[in-house]
Amino acid sequence: MSENVPNSPPADVTDAAPVPAYSEQLLSDVASLPSLPGVYRYFDAQGNVLYVGKAINLKKRVSSYFQKNHGGTRIGHMVSKIARLETTVVRSEAEALLLENNLIKTLNPKYNILFRDDKSYPYLKITALGKSGSEQFPRVAYYRGAVEKKHHYFGPYPSAWAVKEAILLMQKVFRLRTCEDPVFSNRTRPCLLYQIKRCSGPCVGHVSPEAYAQDLADAERFLNGDAREVMRELEARMMRHADKLEFEQAAELRNQVAALSSVLHQQSVDNVSDRDVDILAVKVQGGRACVNLAMVRGGRHLGDRPYFPVHVEDAGDLDEADASGAPGAVRSLEMQVLDAFIAQHYLNVPAPPSLVVSVPVDKGLLQALSEQTGVKVSAVHNPREQRRVWLEMAQTNAGLQLARLLAEEGSQQARTRALVEALDLPLENLDELRVECFDISHTSGESTQASCVVFHHHKMQSAEYRRFKINDITPGDDYAAMRQVLLRRYGKLAETLAEAKRSGAMPAGTGRLPELVLVDGGKGQVSMAREVFEQLGLDLSLIVGVEKGEGRRIGLEELVFADGRDKVYLGKDSAALMLVAQIRDEAHRFAITGMRAARAKVRIDGGKLEEIPGIGPKRRARLLQRFGGVRGVALASEADIAQVEGISTELAAEIYRALH
């Protein structure tokens, strides 16, 4: 056994609790670790990842977990579960930071503070300036995705609303075009935006390329934070035109100056020294946390966005070491949450040079972030003047957003408890309640789809939703559709559970049955679900049907059970019924949107005409050639369609029905 990894308390501590016993293999692995920077991962006996961490000195950092008894703390619970570890040696702390947070997002460890991936941030895009056609008049547009070097991007913005506000500003002040290139190239007269003075009309030659290029340059300088300079130049150009008695041009510039002045006044852009700043305020309360991110770009406050990490309670005191890997430098939970956000958020989002933060940020983290991004990143903890105003605003918003979240979660937890009690479910931990709900949707048998939505941890888990395309049934047979979707959803799982019962070992990665399976329907749908569960050998008590009440009125629904229990009416004010209705309505919404999308592919996409029975490539080509596209086919009568070569009267009727 290595000296660095003792498995018993020091000799001079006779009354201390014993250090938990670890396997010889684990202790050997810890003892053989190098004194180099790297990333470590802890796993439990089932192979689930518990924790991902980084260290400048792997041996010193990892050994610290096993050298003392951590008692009943969270770190003690975590360490007691460690069955094995994996490490990766890297060259620098910046590489360790990058790898650690990529692994956290990929592996979703239970004891790490984790910020879920949000969809990418939107940008304001100005297309590249060219020498001919529409390229002479670049357009301004909303954009989300990977950036291209040839175009100009401004942002990122905290929300789509903020981008659209900026685009409206570009139209009001600089009158830049927003139309797509095909529309621009085919216009013969100016559109409504020109009439309301939101566009200079470059599509029909109402502005020269040189004048448009000047407006474009002013717009880009404004977005980069040179608003005051742009204002002065516009005023100077206005006076020059007035001196030359060019009053029409002077009036246009006067209107631009007035619009820009109004914008600057509304946005209170008083401090132009801070061009690009992110303001980060963290609030922790009731076992939850909120990081409110406010963005300043080009000296303009663009708005904010709240982020709510998971595993905050479990993470607690696990990150008590500072960035150098030395144990004992305890950081508050607020600091840990903010460090985790900065490390994970700026992996894929460009980091501005300045951060204004509500709690101190680890200097090693900032240094690693600077090395990773190539931009010197600094953080200000106690700002003054305008920065202080921004931070106070972000702190207020963080508190409000966290209070809203706690109120919503409290309400949802009350509903979960009410449902568990109303149905007498054998469940001790409310967080573990998993409900799956199924619904069938179609239009007169067309494009039948089934949906499965999941409720877990007191909220809908949209990432676990599934749609099932129903085939080989009589159109409109909802019972057959329900039978098919339940067999597809639980068939393999039932086989795995049966095999595990026979062998006495559960394979790793096996899914789990929910505590409740809701079906949208009454006795008929419940009977079909019962047949499927009997066939699969599953517990019938899991199945509950949601039967509509008298007159299909909301609040009068009754619950129908597959195991023979009597119907239950919970009452229109019941919190349990509210939760059931919420899950049922979400299943219906998810099913109907999928059905409409599938139906639209046939009706709108010309390439899907071939999905109509009897329509192959040749007949499709003849139809599109005759009617000029799928919309023309949709507008044609059955008699017109039947006149196309190779289309019989019966097939024409089928085409007409499919497109209507």
Measured CA to CA, the distance from residue 7 to residue 572 in angstroms comes to 60
Structure-block tokens of residue 324 = 């150098």
Angle (CA) 14-17-21 rounded to 5° is 115
> CATH 1.10.150.20 occupies which residues in the chain?
605-659
Give residue-wise pLDDT tens across range 56-94.
888 888 888 887 776 666 677 788 888 889 999 988 877
Strand, coil or helix: 370: helix
Closest-CA residue to 439 (of 530, 540, 546): 546
Give the pLDDT confidence score for residue 45 in this predicted structure. Answer: 85
Mean pLDDT of the chain: 80
The pLDDT, as a whole number, for residue 71 is: 64
- The more confidently predicted of residues 522 and 40 is 40
CATH 3.30.420.340 placement within the chain: 436-499+520-588
Q: Is the predicted pLDDT of residue 17 greater than 60, yes or no?
A: no
Could you tell me the strand order of the sheet in which 354-357 lies?
A: 300-307, 288-297, 277-285, 354-357, 378-380
Mean per-residue pLDDT, 178-202: 86
What are 596-610's pLDDT values in tens digits? 666 555 444 444 566
Predicted local distance difference test score (pLDDT) of residue 315 = 63
DSSP symbol at 362: -
User: What CATH number labels 436-499+520-588?
Assistant: 3.30.420.340
pLDDT confidence bin for 5, thresholds 50/70/90: very low
Average pLDDT over residues 450-454: 92
| Contact residues for 369 (Cβ-Cβ < 8 A; gap 6+) | 94, 97, 342, 343, 346, 351, 377
Looking from the CA of 98 toward its CB, the CA atoms found within 13 Å total 17
The pLDDT tens digits for 536-557 are 999 888 899 988 876 666 667 8
- Cα–Cα distance between 89 and 105 in angstroms, integer? 19
Q: For residue 324, what are the contacts with CB-CB under 8 A and spacing of at least 6?
A: 56, 364
CATH 3.40.1440.10 residue ranges of the chain are 24-107
Between 655 and 271, where is the model more confident? 655
pLDDT at 326 over 50: no
All residues at 6 or more sequence positions from 411 whose CB lies less than 8 Å from its CB, including other chains = none
pLDDT digits (tens, 9 = 90+) for 566-593: 888 887 778 888 899 889 999 988 888 8
7: pLDDT strictly greater than 60: no
- Token digits of residue 262: 């109004």
Quote the pLDDT of residue 375: 81
- Enter the pTM of the model: 0.61
Q: What is the pLDDT of residue 414?
A: 86
The answer, yes or no, to whether residue 2 has pLDDT greater than 50, is no
Most confident option among 123-132, 390-399, 497-506: 390-399
* pLDDT for position 273: 62
Q: Residues 196-200: what's their mean pLDDT?
A: 86
- Give SS3 for 512: coil
110-138, pLDDT tens digit by residue?
Answer: 888 888 765 667 888 888 887 777 788 99
Superfamily per CATH, domain 24-107:
GIY-YIG endonuclease (3.40.1440.10)
pLDDT of residue 611: 67
The count of other CB atoms within 10 Å of the CB of residue 141 is 19
For residue 156, is the peptide bond before it cis, meaning its omega torsion is within 30 degrees of 0? yes
Structure confidence at residue 320 (pLDDT): 46
- Over residues 233-290, the pLDDT tens digits come to 777 778 877 777 877 777 777 776 776 665 554 454 444 466 788 999 999 887 788 9
CATH architecture for the domain at 605-659: Orthogonal Bundle (1.10)
Of the candidates 598, 433, 628, the residue with the CA atom closest to the CA atom of residue 517: 433
Q: Which amino acid is at 136?
A: Q
Q: What is the pLDDT of residue 604?
A: 45
pLDDT of residue 261: 66
- Provide the CATH topology of domain 277-403: Nucleotidyltransferase; domain 5 (3.30.420)
Going across the sheet that includes 38-43, the strands are 49-55, 38-43, 84-89
Rounded (10°) angle between helices 24-31 and 58-66: 150
* pLDDT reported for residue 263: 55
Strand (E) positions, 236-313?
A: 277-285, 288-297, 300-307
Task: Note whether 123 and 223 are within 8 A (CB).
Answer: no
Measured CA to CA, the distance from residue 646 to residue 309 in angstroms comes to 61
Mean pLDDT of 290-300: 84
